[in-house]
Amino acid sequence: MPEKIRITEVGLRDGLQNQPVAVPVEGKLALLEQLIEAGVRHVELTSFVRPDAVPQLADAAQLVDAAMQRGLASRLDDCMALVPNMKGYERAHAAGVKSVALVLAVSETLNVKNINMTLDQASGICETVTRRAADDGVRVRVYLAAAMGCPFDGPSPPARVQALAARMIDAGADRIAVADTIGAGHPQDVPALFEPLMRAHGQARIAAHFHDTRGLGSALAWQAALCGVRQFDASIGGLGGCPFAPGASGNVATEDLAFLFEHAGFATGIDLDRLLDVLDTVEALLGRRHQGRVAAWLANQRTKRRAQAAQINALSS
Ligand code: COA
Ligand code: ZN
């Protein structure tokens, strides 16, 4: 049996939060459905932040409700929503969300810019929200943002990431997503960051979230896989970026990571041909071409396979 790699699709949140076009609920549902058809089972659907801070995701409650009504949420193993504070948690809980993602930047300044709190305040709020979620039976994942560098404060010390990860797991978080929010990381920095986290908490608890700002997203993911990481975030077509973290470009593309790992013999459960269809939908919704690297090559291969199949059919009929 091939070893599994879990890819969590964050395009609907991390991807769409930074687009000039606000995608309507129906468009988001169409995207979600196609991603599910392609085999995606872990999704970050939206975020319950201030609607005026991120208008692209102001329909969070409506989207969650529609995903449940249409039977899409129940086809997922994890349907997460990001919450920045207790108010966001309460809105998500009221909407029926069973899995939340909290955000804690490991640097001082990004917390202020992103969620208007100091690191100390943000850590405290994360603990409080995590405990409350545990009481409600809601799963918690904590993003440790800017884990490889902050646009304001520079490089992030791995020891700080480790201390915050341990603190959040103690508070009841079931997963930590180590996030290179602005794509500041280099593959050679990955072992010092991830090896101690994997030793301390294991594969089930640690996920890696890379951005492809400098074209190193896949290399970072591969290096993290060599350190034992088996859970990765990605966004279809490499959509993404954070409006509050200057310099952040899109996440590493789902199709690039699925290709990287499938080609190495891991099982992601994702059908690459079907992802190509999802990319067409992304383009139709946003009016621009995706940023992923492998899609053009995959499309070429698909065309060749189809031409060969047509030839064989013609010969046998
Ligand atoms: N959802 C909706 N409204 C919220 C809210 C939330 N999660 N949190 C606070 N508010 C409202 C409050 O009710 C209050 O409203 P009022 O003026 O009508 O009483 C107002 O916002 C101010 O509340 P305050 O607690 O001072 O929040 P803030 O203004 O410091 O905003 C955040 C904090 C985190 C909600 C805001 O900075 C935000 O949404 N940031 C977006 C972060 C993000 O999406 N980053 C990218 C992903 S990492
Ligand atoms: Zn991100």
Write down the architecture of domain 6-291 according to CATH: Alpha-Beta Barrel (3.20)
Measured distance CA(132)–CA(149) in Å, rounded: 30
Query: Which ligand has an atom closest to residue 52 CA?
Result: 1
Residues with CB under 5 A from ligand 2 (ion): 14
Between the CA of 233 and the centroid of ligand 2 the distance, in Å, is 8
- Backbone φ and ψ for 208, nearest 5 degrees, come out as -115, 140
Alpha helices in 139-216 (DSSP H): 158-171, 190-201
- The rounded Å distance from CA 59 to ligand 1 centre is 15
- Ligand index nearest the alpha carbon of residue 14: 2
- The pLDDT of residue 122 is 95
Ligand 1 pocket check for 116: Cβ under 6 Å: yes
pLDDT of residue 214: 93
Instruction: Look at residue 147 in the predicted model and tell me its pLDDT.
Output: 98
**C-alpha dist (Å) from residue 253 to 122, 148, 210:** 29, 19, 10
Q: Where are the beta strands (DSSP E) in 90-135?
A: 99-105
Ligand 2 centroid, distance to 211 Cα (angstroms)? 6
Q: Is 109 in the pocket of ligand 1 (CB under 6 A)?
A: no
Nearest CA to ligand 1 atom 22: 50
DSSP 137: T
pLDDT at position 135 is: 94
Rounded CA separation 302/297 (Å): 9
38 lines ligand 1 (CB under 6 A): no
pLDDT at 242: 72
User: DSSP assignment of 24-50, as one string?
Assistant: PHHHHHHHHHHHHHTT--EEEEEE-S-
**What is residue 180's predicted lDDT score, i.e. its pLDDT?**
97
Which residues does the annotation mark as catalytic? 242
Atom of ligand 1 nearest to the CA of 116: 30
pLDDT of residue 207: 98
* Residue pLDDT tens, the chain, 317 long: 899 999 999 999 999 998 988 999 999 999 999 999 999 999 999 999 999 999 999 999 999 999 999 999 999 999 999 999 999 999 999 999 999 999 999 999 999 998 999 999 999 999 999 999 999 999 999 999 999 999 999 999 999 999 999 999 999 999 999 999 999 999 999 999 999 999 999 999 999 999 999 999 999 999 999 999 999 999 999 998 677 878 778 999 999 999 999 999 999 999 999 999 999 999 999 988 888 999 999 999 999 999 999 999 998 87
| Cα torsion through 224, 229, 230, 235, rounded to 10 | -50
Q: Where are the domains of the chain?
A: 6-291
Closest alpha carbon to 76 in 88, 65, 68, 86: 68
Say what the pTM is: 0.96
Q: Evaluate: CB of 84 within 6 angstroms of ligand 1.
A: yes
Ligand nearest to the CA of 182: 2
**pLDDT at residue 18, rounded to an integer:** 86
* Cβ-based burial of 304 (10 A; exposed 0-12, middle 13-18, buried ≥19): exposed
pLDDT at position 179, please? 98
Distance 49 CA to ligand 1 centre (A): 6
Q: Are 207 and 232 in contact (CB under 8 A)?
A: yes
